[in-house]
């Protein structure tokens, strides 16, 4: 029964994932860049490294300031590679929010992203704050906050996943939202 539910979820995720991934990989040159496409491409890069088990690749996507702010970052990264299992099937984007700040010549832009990603074994919920641009400090560019949780462990499955709601710097595994949603 669990396998059947997982397969249905995987098929659902594959359908939405194929649409999202085709926009980045196959038609990216033909389409104008939008924030949502850029965010999805960033997420697909993260997934690519995660599926390969490439710790250095994943680490390279994080902002240097975020890594420095979390002393347990390398340990959490190793735990992530153990936590994630199966072959990637597809993903669904729940939301991509965009924030921008301009102060004189300094420009900062970031994405608040929430996805569900399916593998042949599990469905994972992932949420990110990803700094796309910071002309004042390049060490802030990259993933500043990343949360991942198995779908079955999230008591709030009808909402976009947002980690524990604190958006602490670094990489966080298995955390659920601690506040009230309604």
Q: What is the mean pLDDT of the chain?
A: 85
Provide the number of structural domains found in the chain: 1
pLDDT on residue 178:
75
Q: Per-residue pLDDT tens for 101-139?
A: 998 889 999 999 999 999 999 999 999 999 999 999 999
Q: What is the CA radius of gyration of the chain?
A: 16
| CATH number of the domain residue 53 falls in | 3.10.450.50
> Does residue 182 belong to any structural domain of this protein?
no
pLDDT on residue 37:
93
Structure tokens at 5: 């539910």
> Does residue 122 belong to any structural domain of this protein?
yes
Question: Which residues span the domain enclosing 145?
Answer: 2-173
Q: Which residues pair with 117 in a beta bridge?
A: 91, 124
Reading the chain (182 residues) residue by residue, the pLDDT tens digits are: 555 444 444 444 444 444 444 445 444 433 345 899 999 999 999 999 999 999 999 999 999 999 999 999 999 999 999 999 999 999 999 999 899 999 888 999 999 999 999 999 999 999 999 999 999 999 999 999 999 999 999 998 888 999 999 999 999 999 998 766 54
> Does residue 128 belong to any structural domain of this protein?
yes
> Does residue 179 belong to any structural domain of this protein?
no
Pairing of strands 123-134, 88-103: unpaired
> Does residue 110 belong to any structural domain of this protein?
yes
């Amino acid at each position: 029964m669990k396998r059947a539910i997982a397969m249905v979820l995987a098929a659902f995720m594959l359908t939405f994932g194929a649409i999202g991934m085709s926009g980045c990989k196959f038609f990216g040159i033909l389409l104008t860049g939008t924030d949502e496409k850029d965010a999805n491409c960033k997420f697909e890069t993260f997934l690519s490294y995660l599926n390969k088990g490439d710790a250095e690749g994943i680490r390279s996507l994080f902002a240097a300031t975020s890594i420095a702010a979390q002393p347990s970052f390398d340990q959490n990264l190793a735990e992530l590679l153990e936590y994630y299992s199966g072959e990637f099937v597809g993903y669904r984007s729940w939301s991509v929010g965009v924030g921008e700040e301009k102060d004189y010549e300094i420009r900062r832009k970031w994405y608040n992203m929430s996805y569900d990603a399916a593998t042949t074994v599990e469905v994972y919920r992932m949420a990110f704050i990803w700094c796309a641009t910071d002309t004042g400090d390049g060490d802030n560019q990259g993933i500043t906050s990343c949360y991942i949780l198995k779908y079955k462990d999230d008591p709030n499955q009808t909402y976009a996943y947002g980690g524990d709601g604190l958006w602490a710097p670094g990489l966080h595994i298995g955390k659920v939202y601690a506040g009230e949603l309604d």
